[in-house]
């Protein structure tokens, strides 16, 4: 049942190229050039904003999607965790598209937030793994993520499938709103079709990530840094590590470091930096150098070009495959997951059933 893996989590991490491939074939037309949403679809001319609500890992998928929607579809996106959103009772303009993201589709706070939005938002959409779940049934449009059953309590393949579906949705919004031209859309869809292959190459880093994780397992605190669309992935990395290895971890936007957390830096707290060689790379590297100047040890996760520029003085490096910018959050989720996994295995914790956690949180 674990298909040769020691844990369900390892199996589910390894399945990501396959399940993402399935999500892509579900949402792309036969020729791969159009995005097809399940009935009744979404009318993007009816929205001028998006509100995305979820909990935990699903919330970090919303966080990453905010960057996509704002960038390609020029739609303002508000994100919130469901337990805050529902009690805040926020004002809702009628031209709002509300999106609820949930693996189980049964998370109590997310369901309550969805019910709050009924009759207020123009459309209630959900991005779910379980199609017969309450959240799917109570939405106007349910968008399946097709990750298959996820057994490990720590969500992995559901996260990358949520990201894939949300990236497709952002591109479809951009097309419908005319904020992207045909050539650019075509480029994005072409690179999305290469995603399973790139994910496979990222998974090939398993042994490298296992080695760094042996060293990380000695730490009591770990800091994750990222800028732009890597910031949500830093959060997901920190959450995964906390959940299964019980090591205290926090994520910060690289640029926030100097506004407080830099006081924590010493030789005992590893700092994991997610920084593909993109438009924000130099900025992230300068924050990373501030860490090293204060004796911090940095694990830099970047690509060939990024490592050529910035490896000097870094404690450990992980060389990721080249990734089109737009897809980097999906691919960089893999080292985030594998670091947590191998660190937890090194510590001997119960990876698939971490203490105090349940797979589906149906109470508030
Ligand atoms: C993280 C994790 C939790 C869930 C959260 C939401 O690994 O498993 O943070 O992501 O409880 O659950 P769903 O997606 O079922 O609403």
The answer to whether the predicted template modeling score (pTM) of the entire model surpasses 0.95 is: yes
Percent of the chain, pLDDT > 70?
A: 100
Contacts of 17 (CB under 8 A, 6+ apart): 195, 196, 197, 199, 200, 203
Look at residue 262 in the predicted model and tell me its pLDDT: 93
The per-residue pLDDT for 359 is 84
pLDDT score of 31:
92
Question: Which pair of tokens denotes residue 73?
Answer: 């579809």
Burial of 28 (0-12, 13-18, 19+ CB in 10 A): middle
Backbone angles phi, psi at 215, to 5 degrees: -70, -40
pLDDT(113) > 80: yes
Give the pLDDT confidence of 306-348 residue by residue, as tens digits.
999 999 999 999 999 999 999 999 999 999 999 999 999 999 9
pLDDT, position 64: 98
Q: Is the pLDDT of residue 255 over 90?
A: yes
What is the pLDDT at residue 357? 87
Q: Which residues, including other chains, have CB under 8 Å from residue 184's CB and lie 6 or more apart? A: none
- With a cut of 80, say whether residue 364 has pLDDT above it: no
Establish whether 359 is a catalytic residue.
yes
How high is the pLDDT of residue 363?
78
Whether 54 and 63 have beta carbons less than 8 Å apart is answered as no
Helix (H) or strand (E) holding 56: helix 56-68
What is the overall mean pLDDT for the chain? 97
The one catalytic residue in 120, 242, 347, 359 is: 359
354, pLDDT greater than 90: no
Strand partners, 54: 81
Span 108-120, average pLDDT: 98
pLDDT at 11 over 90: yes
Which among 361, 363, 364 is the best mutation to test ligand 1's pocket, defined by most ligand atoms within 8 Å of the CB? 361
- Which atom of ligand 1 lies at the shortest distance from residue 56's CA? 9
Residue 93 to residues 49, 51, 123, 195: CA-CA distances in angstroms? Answer: 9, 10, 11, 36
- How many angstroms separate the CA atoms of 40 and 35, rounded? 14
The 248-253 sheet, strands edge to edge: 248-253, 221-226, 271-274, 298-303, 316-320
DSSP string, 94-131: TTEEEEEEESSS--HHHHHHHHHHTTTSSEEEEEES-T
- pLDDT at 362 > cutoff 90: no
180 close to 72: Cβ distance less than 8 angstroms: yes
DSSP for 232-246 reads HHHHHHHHHHHHHH-
User: pLDDT band at 66, cuts 50/70/90?
Assistant: very high
Distance from Cα 104 to the centre of ligand 1, integer Å? 8
β-partners of residue 320 are 303
Q: Which of ligand 1's atoms lies nearest the C-alpha of 360?
A: 15
Q: Give mean pLDDT, residues 198-202.
A: 98
pLDDT score for 361 = 82
272-290: average pLDDT: 97
Look at residue 138 in the predicted model and tell me its pLDDT: 98
Distance from C-alpha of 64 to C-alpha of 60, rounded to nearest angstrom: 6
Q: Which of 61, 103, 163 to mutate to test the pocket of ligand 1 (most atoms within 8 A of CB)?
A: 103
- The percent of residues above 90 in pLDDT, for the chain, comes to 95
């Amino acid at each position: 049942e674990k298909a040769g893996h020691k844990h369900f989590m390892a199996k589910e991490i390894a399945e990501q190229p396959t399940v993402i491939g399935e999500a892509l074939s579900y949402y792309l037309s036969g020729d791969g050039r159009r995005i097809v949403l399940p009935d009744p679809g979404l009318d993007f001319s009816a929205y001028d904003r998006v509100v995305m609500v979820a909990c935990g890992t699903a919330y970090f998928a919303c966080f990453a999607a905010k960057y996509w929607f704002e960038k390609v579809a020029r739609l303002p996106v508000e994100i919130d965790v469901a337990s805050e959103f529902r009690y805040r009772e926020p004002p809702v303009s009628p031209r709002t598209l509300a999106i609820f993201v949930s693996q189980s589709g049964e998370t109590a706070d997310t369901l309550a937030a969805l019910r709050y939005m009924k009759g207020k938002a123009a459309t209630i959409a959900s991005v779910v793994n379980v199609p017969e779940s309450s959240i799917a049934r109570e939405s106007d449009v349910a968008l399946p993520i097709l990750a298959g059953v996820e057994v490990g309590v720590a969500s992995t393949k559901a996260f990358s499938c949520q990201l894939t579906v949300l990236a497709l949705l952002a591109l479809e919004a951009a097309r419908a709103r005319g904020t992207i031209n045909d050539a650019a859309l075509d480029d994005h869809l072409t690179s999305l079709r290469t995603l399973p292959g790139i994910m496979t190459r990222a998974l090939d880093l398993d042994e490298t990530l296992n080695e760094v994780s042996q060293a990380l397992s000695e730490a009591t605190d770990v800091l994750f840094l990222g800028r732009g669309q890597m910031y949500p992935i830093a959060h997901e990395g920190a959450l995964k590590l906390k959940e299964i290895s019980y090591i205290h971890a926090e994520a910060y936007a690289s640029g926030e470091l100097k506004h407080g957390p830099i006081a924590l830096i010493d030789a005992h707290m590893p700092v994991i930096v997610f920084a593909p060689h993109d438009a924000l790379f130099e900025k992230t590297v300068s924050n990373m150098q501030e860490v090293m100047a204060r004796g911090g040890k940095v694990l830099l996760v970047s690509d060939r070009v990024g490592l050529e520029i910035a490896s000097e003085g870094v404690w450990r490096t992980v060389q990721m495959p080249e990734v089109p910018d737009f897809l980097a959050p999906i691919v960089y989720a893999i080292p985030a997951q594998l670091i947590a996994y191998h660190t937890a295995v090194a510590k001997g914790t119960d990876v698939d059933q971490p203490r105090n956690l349940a797979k589906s949180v149906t109470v508030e």
